[in-house]
Amino acid sequence: MNITRRTLMAGASALALPFGNAFAQKAEFTLKYGNNLPIAHPMNVRAAEMATKINAESKGRIAFEVYPNNQLGNDTDMLSQARSGALDFFTLSPLILGTLVPAAQISGVGFAFKDYGQVWPAMDGDLGVHVRKQIEGASTLFAFEKIWDNGYRQITTSTRPVNQPEDLKGMKIRIPPSPFWVSMFKAFEAAPATINFAEVYSSLQTKVVDAQENPLAIIATAKLNEVQKYCSLTNHMWDGFWFLGNKKSFERLPADLRAIVSSNVNAAGLKQRDDVRQLNDNLLADLKGKGMIINTTNADLFRAKLRSANFYADWHKKFGDEAWAVLEKYTGKLA
Ligand code: X2X
């Protein structure tokens, strides 16, 4: 199904919330999945489709319910709900998951993946296996094989464009709650503030912070262009969303139902990747048309700044030689 930008923006608003609970009354298992993204984002368009497929393929034995857009609370709230089993599934950036499983942050190393030709072989290959093993070993959670996409992150501000690293000096920039993100923007000598995504729009609107960084699909679907003037294409990191499950909740399902959920979550993830890439590749004109001033940047300058701040060497030490070697197997030498 080829999702055009217009269909995406229009179609999602027709989705009833939470999606998928038409079957709740007679289902044996009601499964709740929460996320932090706007309804119009490809994550929720594909999640709604996935819920319908799971409910139908299980012949109504499962009622898979989707709670989008921070309906169940912010990322910090939903992570603790998923850990306790109050929430069955939750999609979360590997870097925010780093607050619980530090090793998971390795996929977000700044300027590591040159392009998607390096991202998917790593995340569907040995790096993904390594991270998923760490998640299962260190928490009550597991991650499905196919990570969902967020995209390459860009910096937006209400004050000035970011043309080179020096422009970040002292900049009050919002970043997601993650030790990795803090260290990266401290290496740029910015003034990072960790704020959950649920509070980003209001924090920018009230000038608690002057900047934030996200892929274009999120800037557009969360309407951040309404409170941000400049968009600087830094592509400073690739980011994804592990589709996390509570191990105990998932094990309560019989094997045939676990198989239906797994195959549909992974299949939806692959479709969502295509949608996100298509959207991220085609939103520039849209955002320009909405008044954003867009500039490109030279990644080598930002990479050099991170190197001079020992960012790569420090995180190499934190992740360890073995994990770093797995990363560099896909990215080439980083420091
Ligand atoms: O919090 C963010 O910036 C977001 C929406 O990209 C993530 O979930 C990491």
In ligand 1, the atom with minimum distance to the C-alpha of 75 is: 8
pLDDT for res 13: 45
Q: Average pLDDT in the 261-269 region?
A: 98
Identify the weakest region by mean pLDDT among 5-14, 149-158, 173-182, 199-208.
Answer: 5-14
The helix (run of H) or strand (run of E) holding residue 281 is helix 255-282
Summarised one tens digit per residue, pLDDT across range 111-153 is 999 999 999 999 999 999 999 999 999 999 999 999 999 999 9
Residue 305 structure tokens? 């700044």
Q: If we measure between CA atoms, which residue out of 126, 98, 135, 87 comes closest to residue 239?
A: 98
237 ligand 1 Cβ < 6 A:
no
Would you state the structure tokens that stand for residue 206, as one six-digit string?
A: 């009230």
Between strands 29-34 and 89-92, the pairing is parallel
Question: Scanning the structure block, which residue is given the tokens 């195959």?
Answer: 263
CA of 30 to the centre of ligand 1 (A): 27
For residues 61 and 53, give the distance between their C-alpha atoms in angstroms, rounded to a whole number.
12
Supply the residue whose CA is at minimum distance from atom 1 of ligand 1.
197
Verify whether ligand 1 is closer than 6 Å to residue 197 (CB atom).
Answer: yes
80-116: pLDDT as tens digits: 999 999 999 999 999 999 999 999 999 999 999 999 9
Domains located in the chain, CATH noted: 5-150+240-281 (3.40.190.170), 152-237+288-331 (3.40.190.170)
Q: What per-residue confidence (pLDDT) applies to 20?
A: 60
**Does 302 sit in the ligand 1 pocket, CB within 6 Å?**
no
**What is d(CA 23, CA 172) in angstroms, rounded to the nearest whole number?**
46
Please say if the pLDDT value at position 160 is more than 80: yes
Ligand 1 atom with the smallest distance to the CA of 212 is 3
Query: What own/partner pairs with CB < 8 Å and gap ≥ 24 does 81-84 have?
Result: 81/34, 82/34, 82/141, 82/244, 82/245, 82/246, 83/139, 83/140, 83/141, 83/246, 84/140, 84/246
Above pLDDT 70, what percent of the chain? 93
Contacts of 41 (CB under 8 A, 6+ apart): 12, 217, 218, 221
Q: How far is CA 25 from CA 22, 62, 64, 128, 320, in A?
A: 8, 10, 12, 37, 49
Identify which of 216, 239, 221 has the alpha carbon closest to the alpha carbon of residue 155: 216
CA of 209 to the centre of ligand 1 (A): 16
4 versus 210: which is more confidently predicted? 210
Q: What is the mean pLDDT of residues 209-231?
A: 98
Q: Ligand 1, from 35, 90, 150: best to mutate by most atoms within 8 Å of Cβ?
A: 150
264 pLDDT exceeds 60? Answer: yes
34 lines ligand 1 (CB under 6 A): no
* Strand (E) or helix (H) holding 298: none
CB of 218 shorter than 6 A to ligand 1 = yes
Q: How confident is the model at residue 167 (pLDDT cuts 50, 70, 90)?
A: very high
Give the pLDDT confidence score for residue 17 in this predicted structure: 60
DSSP 242-272: EEEEEHHHHHTS-HHHHHHHHHHHHHHHHHH
Residue 125 C-alpha to ligand 1 middle, in angstroms?
24
Rg (CA), the chain: 19
Other C-beta atoms lying within 10 Å of the C-beta of residue 115: 9
User: Is the CB of 183 within 6 Å of ligand 1?
Assistant: no
Cα 96 to ligand 1 centre (Å)? 8
Any ligand 1 atom below 6 A from CB of 36? yes
DSSP 98: T
**CA dist., res. 46 & res. 48, Å (int):** 5
Q: Is 176 in the pocket of ligand 1 (CB under 6 A)?
A: yes
Alpha-carbon 16 to chain mean position: 23
pLDDT tens by residue, 5-44: 454 444 444 455 677 655 556 899 999 999 999 999 999 9
Which atom of ligand 1 lies at the shortest distance from residue 153's CA? 6
How many other CB atoms are found less than 10 A from the CB of residue 201? 16
